[in-house]
Chain A
Amino acid sequence: MRNAVNLLAGLIFGLGLLISGMANPAKVQNFLDLAGTFDPSLLCVMGGAVMVTLIGYRLVLRRSRPLLAERFYLPTAKDVDARLLAGAALFGVG
């Protein structure tokens, strides 16, 4: 059952990437090209995704545990450290 959820979530996520245009690297790069062929679509994707997740997480994380697992696996790190900054910086370059 949990694996079926994973499969379906992956499928919905993938369709989201395709419909939003974010599966096309040119569209992502154009978002990053303020001085050239700028395409702000990525902002709409982030906006839509964060709004739904923000509200959804609020409702979901009120419960004591998820429906199909023993607990919520949430990141525990709280500090902004050099590792986080270096990793994110390299990811952005890539």
Chain B
Amino acid sequence: MTVTAFTPLASTIGGVLIGVAAVMMMALNGRIAGISGILGRLLPPYADCDPVGAACFVIGLVVAPLVYAAVASTPFSQTVSGNVVLMAGAGLLVGFGTIFGGGCTSGHGVCGMARLSARSLVATETFMATGFATVFVMRHLIGG
């Protein structure tokens, strides 16, 4: 377990930037800025979606750390699990769950909540609840 500092100011500023990106996507392209949905559009079937546009968004997302590193004075710190099997399993659950449930933290949690969608509110409560439960089991019952 790694202790991380509470960063209210930086986190709120980052959140505002995420909101700006979401509003921009809707105002100009008419699309929801949902990361799982955009990633899903990279793969077939391509009915009524825009794979090239999705690829451009993903490129922007992937380039962001390089831009951040070039501008920021402090390097970005990340703590990632070294357990490859656990990471792969979690990745599968994230991918399958978001496609099946129609969204993730950005699509349901930000864009859907901002549209006051009942589905998104329920989805956000559900994944938060299973997230809390999973971390409790993994860290306090099993002891990761």
Contact = CB atoms under 8 A, between A and B. Distances in A.
Nearest to A58: B114
Contacts of B10: 19-21, 41
A21 B7 contact: yes
Interface string B16-32: 11111111111111111
Contacts, number: 355
A18 B65 contact: yes
B39 to A, nearest CB: 11
A75 B99 CA distance: 13
B101 A86 contact: yes
Interface string A28-45: 011011111101111011
A90 B96 contact: yes
A78 B131 CA distance: 24
Q: Which of A6, A47, A56, A60 has the most CB of B within 10 A?
A: A6
B52 interface: yes
Contacts of B54: 6
A26 B4 contact: yes
A54 B38 CA distance: 20
Given A7-B57, A29-B135, A30-B3, A87 B99 contact: yes
Interface bin, chain B: 35 or more
Name A's interface SS.
Answer: helix
Interface in B3-53: 3-8, 10-33, 35, 48, 50, 52-53
Contacts of B20: 12, 16, 52, 56
A5 B28 contact: yes
A38 B136 CA distance: 11
B78 A40 contact: no
Given A9-B33, A21-B4, A23-B76, A91 B98 contact: yes
B89 to A, nearest CB: 8
Contacts of A48: 11-16, 18-19
A53 B20 CA distance: 7
Interface of B: 1-8, 10-33, 35, 48, 50, 52-54, 56-65, 67-68, 76-81, 89-102, 104, 106, 108-115, 117-119, 122-124, 126-136, 139-140
